[in-house]
Structure 1
Amino acid sequence: MTQVDTAEAGQGSPADTRAAGTGAGAPTAGTGGTWRARVRRAIRNGFRPGPWKRGPVLTALALLLGLFMLLHAKIPNRTGGLGSLVETFLPWFGLFVPVLLAGALWRRSASAVAALLLPVMVWLNLFGGLLGDKSHPGSDLTVASHNVGANNPDPTGTARDLVASGADVLALEEITPQAQGAYEKELAKAYPYHTVQGTVGLWSKLPLSHTQPVDIKMDYGPLGDTKPVEIKLTYTRALRTTVTTGHGPLAVYVAHLGSVRVNPRAGFWTDSRDRGAQALGKAIAADRNERVVLLGDLNGTMDDRAFAGITSQLRSVQDAAGDGFGFSWPAKFPVARIDQILVRGVEPKSSWLLPATGSDHLPVAAGISW
């Protein structure tokens, strides 16, 4: 009787009560919490863009790096030699790629990772060919070049190290009058033929002829020169000679172009070097010999536009037959290859660095063939 009265009174069963509570004007106990959670998610998503919208600064930096390397030849040189400065250290700009990649992964930015494809492809196009070993066994002649350093404390030991290289033709740059005798004495047995013109010289196992200095128009610039006074007064820093080989005459140039300097007034000062490179390029262009080798400290890399007059005529043995970048300066931690061997009319077979001596440069060597 009590149960019937309750039903008749409209109380209903517990199930009926729950069903009735789902209607429009009767929110459940969890509705308020769900609504607040949705608001929090919306706010959170508003401040957390998707992976393709994250890291806009990293994306822009990656694209700028790629364009910077791609268009390096367009960087003006009139303002403090900026273009030449960039091209001197151009391979090192690739180090920014892993830095930006780390930032992109930390930010989980898909757009920044995708943008990094541009500098990676540009860098590989410029320098990827230097990563592998392109040398080939066998050569007809081994040539070597070394800036022995005006302040070399052990010219005798340096000469002995160079003899041990087994080079057939050996070029030396920055020879001082005080050290010249030591080099001539130690190299005489291995190299019966030699010539010294100013501060450059060539030692050879094969006969030399038609030797003459080459005027490369030296200028020591706005800050003078840090070299000893005897180096300043000796303006002959390039020579040309003919090496007699079993395959015919080989014209050999030895050059030590002007130094470059970085200072607040002049920026990256390369005037003397650039004039020397132009004069040397003209001399090589006028040379009637089919086979030409250029050895020396050119105080610049072959990526630098200043050497266009030379690289348009000669091939770099390091680019053609080297293993790696072949950085030669400074000897303790090389960052650039400024000591060069370039050729015309002969085939580069191999290119390598010789062990360090008392100089601040590393010696460079190459095998060439007819």
Structure 2
Amino acid sequence: MTQVDTVEIGQGDAGVQEADAGTWRGGVRRVISIGSRPGPWKRGLVLAALALLLGLVMLLHAHIPNRIGNLGSLAETLLPWFGLFVPVLLAGALWRRSASAVAALLLPVVVWLNLFGGLLNDKSQAGGDLTVASHNVGADNRDPPRTARDLLASGADVLALQELTEQARATYEKALEKAYPHHTVQGTVGLWSKLPLSDTRPVDTKIDAGPLADTKPAHVKLAYTRALRTTVATDRGPLAVYVAHLGSVRVNPRGGFSTGHRDRGAQALAEAVAAERNERMVLLGDLNGTTDDRAFDGITARMRSAQDAAGDGFGFTWPASFPVARIDQILVRGVEPASSWVLPATGSDHLPVAAGISW
């Protein structure tokens, strides 16, 4: 028994020694692993670089060239949505426990807030001397009577419509005639007003009417008219009102962001705005672009957005089912926007917009 006990004790000591050695080796490995692991400022450097790139793109968006696929205009159209990358990068930074990535995210956050932070609060005020509204009613709108009723409910004093078809025009004229005794339609755009109109004329926005456009009959060329100018007689004096529907844009793999027709129209409209002698004016319409887009610099240099000045939120209007951009605009000069808002859907693929303006 004594010998057996001695052997058992010896074996136990060997097991303890092996366990101690294993524990020691494991501790050494842990120390080496901890020593070789990057610190919080060295982790997530790729995330930090992406955060800085995001901030620089937003900060320097005006310098993104348009030579290749109009990338600059495309980026400016989607500029507010760049902010969605911030929480994605923040989640990655927290998962990697990267202090450098979190610090780098300060740049895009500050830039985004500088660009769009002012749109997050409600700047609208009560009152206003005149209510104006604008709506692309949609050539494919299946229910123009309902759209007309919805627009009547807005209570606008001046109502601009775009994308009027020959078939739907009579419907809108009949539905709106009692509330709006004064109206004009030039091509595919029209203006209905509770106040008298004068000095009405089409505005050439350089829409191509096809070969030999200059030789076409007047009624054929009128079908390509997509902008007008008129004067509304208010009790505060004359107000020049422009209604415009600029050319459509397309995104495709080969041509990128195709904006040729729209850009020519924007340039022509900017020239008309610059030549306008009435110091008080309003521009209503579907411009097929946001006011951040450099294509509208000639207009936004002379006019300001009612939504930016007196709205609540971004005022996205297209597409109506899930608006991602504000391409339907109300711009003013010489009058003060008191409020600006987006109206409910009407059956068009655009949402109507309205604003209260005062002198």
TM-score of the pair, normalised by structure 2 = 0.90
Would the aligned equivalents of 2:209 and 2:224 in 1 still touch at CA under 8 Å? no
Q: Give the deviation of 1:35 after TM superposition.
A: 5.2
3-state SS in 1 of match to 2:308:
helix
Distance 2:162 2:152 in 1: 16
Letter in 2 for 1:160: R
Map of 1:328-347 to 2, 5 A cutoff? 328-347=317-336
Post-superposition Cα deviations, 1:265-308, rounded to whole Å, max 9, x if no partner, equal 21110011001001000001001001010000000000000000
Task: Note closer, same or farther for the CA distance 1:42–1:204 as it changes in structure 2 (3 Å cut).
Answer: same
Would the aligned equivalents of 1:176 and 1:231 in 2 still touch at CA under 8 Å? no
Greater than 3 Å deviation, 4+ residue runs = 28-35, 230-233
Q: Give the deviation of 1:41 after TM superposition.
A: 2.6
1:264 aligns with 2:264: no
Residue among 163, 166, 172 paired with 1:174: 163
Residue among 53, 58, 82 paired with 1:69: 58
Q: Give the deviation of 1:355 after TM superposition.
A: 1.2
Distance 1:147 1:235 in 2: 16
The RMSD of aligned alpha carbons is 1.9
1:104 aligns with 2:93: yes
Instruction: Report what 2:194 is aligned to.
Output: 205
Residue among 141, 145, 153 paired with 1:164: 153
Q: Give the deviation of 1:160 after TM superposition.
A: 1.1
Higher Cα radius of gyration:
1
Post-superposition Cα deviations, 1:238-269, rounded to whole Å, max 9, x if no partner, equal 00000000000000000000000112221110
Map of 1:198-237 to 2, 5 A cutoff? 198-219=187-208, 234-237=223-226
Instruction: Report what 1:368 is aligned to.
Output: 357
Distance 1:329 1:121 in 2: 27
Distance 1:170 1:130 in 2: 25
Instruction: Report what 2:102 is aligned to.
Output: 113
Instruction: Report what 2:284 is aligned to.
Output: 295
3-state SS in 1 of match to 2:149:
helix
Instruction: Report what 1:15 is aligned to.
Output: none
Letter in 2 for 1:211: T
Letter in 2 for 1:253: Y
3-state SS in 2 of match to 1:328:
coil
Residue among 152, 155, 174 paired with 2:141: 152
Post-superposition Cα deviations, 1:315-348, rounded to whole Å, max 9, x if no partner, equal 1000000000000000010000000000000000
Task: Note closer, same or farther for the CA distance 1:294–1:217 as it changes in structure 2 (3 Å cut).
Answer: same
Letter in 1 for 2:147: T
Letter in 2 for 1:94: G
3-state SS in 1 of match to 2:225:
coil
Would the aligned equivalents of 2:140 and 2:348 in 1 still touch at CA under 8 Å? yes
Distance 1:239 1:195 in 2: 9
Would the aligned equivalents of 1:220 and 1:272 in 2 still touch at CA under 8 Å? no
3-state SS in 1 of match to 2:356:
strand
Q: Does 61-70 or 245-254 show the bigger shift?
A: 61-70
Letter in 1 for 2:120: L
Would the aligned equivalents of 1:147 and 1:361 in 2 still touch at CA under 8 Å? yes
Q: Give the deviation of 1:32 after TM superposition.
A: 5.0
3-state SS in 2 of match to 1:343:
strand
Instruction: Report what 1:12 is aligned to.
Output: none
Instruction: Report what 1:357 is aligned to.
Output: 346
3-state SS in 2 of match to 1:171:
strand
Residue among 251, 258, 282 paired with 2:240: 251
1:130 aligns with 2:93: no
1:326 aligns with 2:315: yes
Distance 1:43 1:119 in 2: 37
Task: Note closer, same or farther for the CA distance 1:34–1:161 as it changes in structure 2 (3 Å cut).
Answer: closer
Q: Give the deviation of 1:39 after TM superposition.
A: 2.6
Instruction: Report what 2:49 is aligned to.
Output: 60
Residue among 66, 70, 78 paired with 2:67: 78
Q: Give the deviation of 1:156 after TM superposition.
A: 1.1
Instruction: Report what 1:39 is aligned to.
Output: 28
Distance 1:147 1:220 in 2: 21
TM-score of the pair, normalised by structure 1 = 0.87
3-state SS in 2 of match to 1:180:
helix
Instruction: Report what 1:310 is aligned to.
Output: 299
Where in structure 1 are there 5+ consecutive unaligned residues?
Answer: 1-27, 222-229
Q: Does 197-206 or 100-109 show the bigger shift?
A: 100-109
Letter in 1 for 2:341: W
1:189 aligns with 2:189: no
Letter in 2 for 1:162: L
3-state SS in 1 of match to 2:142:
coil
Post-superposition Cα deviations, 1:115-142, rounded to whole Å, max 9, x if no partner, equal 1111000000000000000001110000
Distance 1:319 1:168 in 2: 21
